[in-house]
């Protein structure tokens, strides 16, 4: 890869991973951080690696099903199964979204880093792992790499959050402006974000890292990226903004997606899929439970229309919605494998979860996206910027917005053309195989480096 986000894949990687290589996965305890790494973990396990996982108790059953040994959070605070305001009562004192965000960055992310590190040191005594693979938000990364001298690979489970001189600060969902004055504005916004809005989280991170003799390298996300041995960014260059200063340790890996069983099952199918010229697929994922945000406005927009609306609720209020919307052109299910329904769909309406968006791209589906929180604003901004669909820039669109956006996508071929082009770029990547080769390469480099160091010490002793 190069710093211009070339679409050329590095086919020179030929390293094969050694069977028995000990790998510890470590993830921030949240679904969007854990699930995307399960596909890679299972691939490494299936090719003979000794794979184990450090994360919250919430994921113990899933890891047991995958036959991957689980290490629980011991010293680290386990906040995966509760609401933030319940776990951190003082959070309620902060009224604005910005104040809550700063509180979360400090208390949910930064302050957990030393606790993660203490647990991992304990794990290493009985499981001397050779490499750690973590999601990009796992704040134990710098200590493991620099104090334990163990290579750490981080996986980008959201659009690339590293600060760039060519872009506005990450998190504001501001699309790039590469003109002279556009860059000046973006420089000013980065200054305000780092030195004013998020100055306190930076100082807390700086103090925390100083306890280990580590200096930060930019804001939290930039530091976690730059302190990684290697960053495997889920996605491809064509779904990322151009940046002339791409970090030297960043590699695009294609769509890293959750593990799915390969068992032969009867594919989901409904005869209505063949009876309508236009099929609209709508979902809010499994985390968002409020069906009034996107699902209900979509149903209101297209009930009794000539479009078939296929809804996956993730198990939220499915029966209630069926009673509320009994129209013949509506299908409502708890869950439908996207691989079974996406080939029939013409438009995909979603709140912008990264995995779902990448599946939409792979299936050449133009999108209507409506998500703001939990990093979805940055994902949705890219969908709009690259004209893969329409970004509604809200979490609560009204039926007219959805209807007009779907009609625009169906009448304007540019969206379909762009998503087809990007899907062909995605198809060039074999994510799990590519990542396994990067892991092998890193382990071999570390082994060679250790041999050189031992030889140097022996030469000095002999002299």
Each residue's pLDDT tens digit, 252-270: 999 999 998 766 578 899 9
| Residue 62 counted as domain residue | yes
Query: Do 105 and 233 have their domain in common?
Result: yes
| Residue 89 counted as domain residue | yes
**Per-residue confidence (pLDDT) for residue 33, from 0 to 100:** 93
| Residue 278 counted as domain residue | yes
Domain-ending residue, one of 204, 234, 259: 259
Asked if the model's pLDDT at residue 11 lies above 60, the reply is: no
Chain mean pLDDT for the chain:
90
Residue 212 phi, psi dihedral angles, 5° rounding: -110, 10
- Report, as an integer, the average pLDDT of 403-408: 97
Asked if the model's pLDDT at residue 7 lies above 70, the reply is: no
d(CA 75, CA 373): 29
Query: Do 323 and 199 have their domain in common?
Result: no
Query: Do 305 and 186 have their domain in common?
Result: no
Where do the DSSP E strands lie in 236-355?
Answer: 250-254, 278-283, 307-312, 330-333, 347-350
Residue 144 tokens, joined: 């493991």
Query: Do 228 and 283 have their domain in common?
Result: no
Pairing state between β 389-391 and 307-312: unpaired
CB 22 within 8 A of CB 40: no
The per-residue pLDDT for range 140-150, each reduced to its tens digit, is 999 999 999 99
Find the domain containing 413 and state its range: 271-418
Asked if the model's pLDDT at residue 1 lies above 60, the reply is: no
Query: Do 128 and 236 have their domain in common?
Result: yes
Beta carbons within 10 angstroms of residue 381's beta carbon: 23
d(CA 37, CA 348): 24
**Per-residue confidence (pLDDT) for residue 182, from 0 to 100:** 94
How many domains does the chain contain in total?
2
d(CA 396, CA 255): 28
d(CA 174, CA 390): 15
* Per-residue pLDDT band at 9 (split at 50, 70, 90): low
Domain-ending residue, one of 233, 259, 285: 259
Beta bridge partners of 389: 367
pLDDT > 70 in the chain, percent: 92
Query: Do 301 and 332 have their domain in common?
Result: yes
* Per-residue pLDDT band at 287 (split at 50, 70, 90): confident
Query: Do 301 and 402 have their domain in common?
Result: yes
Pick the closest to residue 9 from 451, 454, 429 (CA basis): 429
Query: Do 57 and 180 have their domain in common?
Result: yes
Instruction: Give the up-direction half-sphere exposure of residue 366: CA atoms within 13 A in the CB hemisphere.
Output: 26
**Per-residue confidence (pLDDT) for residue 360, from 0 to 100:** 96
- Report, as an integer, the average pLDDT of 402-406: 97
* Per-residue pLDDT band at 447 (split at 50, 70, 90): low
Lowest average pLDDT, out of 48-62, 184-198, 280-294, 315-329, goes to: 280-294
* Residue 23 parent element (H or E): strand 22-26
| Residue 55 counted as domain residue | yes
CB 201 within 8 A of CB 220: yes
Beta bridge partners of 23: 51, 131
Residue 1 tokens, joined: 């890869």
- Report, as an integer, the average pLDDT of 171-192: 94
| Residue 356 counted as domain residue | yes
Beta carbons within 10 angstroms of residue 29's beta carbon: 22
- Report, as an integer, the average pLDDT of 293-303: 96
Beta bridge partners of 280: 309, 347
Query: Do 407 and 282 have their domain in common?
Result: yes
| Residue 75 counted as domain residue | yes
Quote the distance between the C-alpha of residue 270 and its chain's center: 31
Could you write out the DSSP letters of every residue in 395-412?
A: SS--HHHHHHHHHHHHH-
Residue 96 phi, psi dihedral angles, 5° rounding: -85, 155
* Per-residue pLDDT band at 210 (split at 50, 70, 90): very high
d(CA 70, CA 26): 10
Asked if the model's pLDDT at residue 10 lies above 60, the reply is: no
* Residue 210 parent element (H or E): helix 199-210
**DSSP secondary-structure letter at 463?**
-
Lowest average pLDDT, out of 182-196, 275-289, 448-462, goes to: 448-462
- Report, as an integer, the average pLDDT of 104-133: 95
**Per-residue confidence (pLDDT) for residue 96, from 0 to 100:** 86
d(CA 441, CA 317): 48
| Residue 436 counted as domain residue | no
Query: Do 214 and 312 have their domain in common?
Result: no
* Per-residue pLDDT band at 95 (split at 50, 70, 90): confident
Task: Please give the model's pTM, rounded to 2 decimal places.
Answer: 0.89
Asked if the model's pLDDT at residue 5 lies above 60, the reply is: no
d(CA 260, CA 420): 24
Per DSSP, the three-state class of 234 is: strand
* Per-residue pLDDT band at 85 (split at 50, 70, 90): confident
Per DSSP, the three-state class of 122 is: helix
Query: Do 51 and 181 have their domain in common?
Result: yes
CB 278 within 8 A of CB 308: yes
Per DSSP, the three-state class of 254 is: strand
d(CA 127, CA 21): 11
Domain-ending residue, one of 259, 281, 309: 259
- Report, as an integer, the average pLDDT of 68-97: 87
Query: Do 60 and 169 have their domain in common?
Result: yes
**Per-residue confidence (pLDDT) for residue 284, from 0 to 100:** 85
325 or 285, greater pLDDT: 325
| Residue 432 counted as domain residue | no
CB 22 within 8 A of CB 150: no
Return the CATH number at 131: 3.40.50.2000
* Residue 270 parent element (H or E): none
* Per-residue pLDDT band at 14 (split at 50, 70, 90): low
């Amino acid at each position: 890869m190069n710093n211009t986000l070339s679409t050329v894949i590095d086919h020179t990687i030929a390293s094969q991973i050694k069977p028995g290589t000990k790998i510890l996965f470590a993830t921030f305890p949240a679904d969007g951080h854990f699930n995307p790494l399960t596909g890679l973990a299972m691939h490494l396990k299936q090719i003979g690696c000794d794979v184990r996982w450090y994360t919250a108790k919430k994921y113990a059953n899933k890891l047991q099903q995958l036959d991957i040994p689980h290490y629980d959070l011991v010293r680290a605070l386990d906040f995966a199964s509760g609401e933030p305001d319940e776990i951190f009562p003082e959070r309620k004192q902060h009224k604005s979204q910005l104040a809550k965000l700063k509180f979360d960055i400090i208390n949910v992310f930064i302050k957990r880093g030393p606790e993660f590190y203490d647990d991992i040191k304990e794990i290493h005594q009985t499981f001397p792992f050779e490499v750690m693979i973590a999601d990009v938000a796992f704040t134990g990364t710098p200590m493991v790499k620099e104090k334990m001298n163990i290579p750490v690979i981080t996986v980008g489970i959201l659009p690339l959050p590293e600060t760039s001189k060519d872009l506005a600060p990450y998190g504001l969902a501001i699309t790039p402006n590469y003109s002279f004055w556009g860059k000046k504005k973006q420089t000013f916004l980065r200054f305000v974000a780092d030195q004013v809005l998020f100055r306190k989280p930076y100082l807390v991170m700086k103090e925390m890292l100083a306890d280990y003799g580590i200096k930060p390298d930019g804001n939290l996300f930039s530091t976690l990226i730059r302190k990684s041995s290697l960053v495997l960014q889920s996605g491809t260059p064509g779904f990322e903004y151009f940046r002339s200063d791409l970090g030297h340790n960043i590699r695009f890996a294609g769509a890293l997606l959750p593990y799915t069983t390969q068992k032969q099952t009867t594919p989901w199918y409904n005869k209505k899929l063949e009876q309508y010229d236009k099929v609209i697929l709508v979902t809010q994922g499994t985390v968002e439970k409020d069906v009034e945000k996107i699902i209900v406005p979509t149903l209101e927009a297209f009930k009794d229309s000539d479009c078939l609306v296929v809804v996956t609720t993730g198990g939220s209020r499915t029966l209630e919605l069926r009673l509320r919307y009994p129209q013949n052109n509506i299908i409502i299910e708890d869950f439908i494998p996207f691989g079974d329904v996406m080939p029939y769909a013409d438009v995909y309406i979603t709140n912008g979860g990264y995995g779902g968006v990448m599946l939409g791209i792979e299936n050449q589906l133009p999108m209507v996206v409506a998500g703001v929180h939990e990093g979805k604003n940055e994902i949705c901004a890219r969908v709009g910027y690259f004209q893969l669909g329409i970004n509604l820039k809200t979490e609560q669109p009204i039926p007219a917005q959805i209807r007009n956006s779907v009609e625009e996508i169906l009448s304007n071929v540019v969206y379909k053309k762009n998503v087809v082009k990007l899907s062909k770029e995605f198809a060039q990547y074999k994510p799990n195989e590519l990542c396994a080769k990067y892991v092998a390469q890193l382990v071999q480099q570390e082994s060679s480096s250790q041999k050189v160091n031992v030889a140097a010490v022996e030469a000095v002793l002999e002299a």
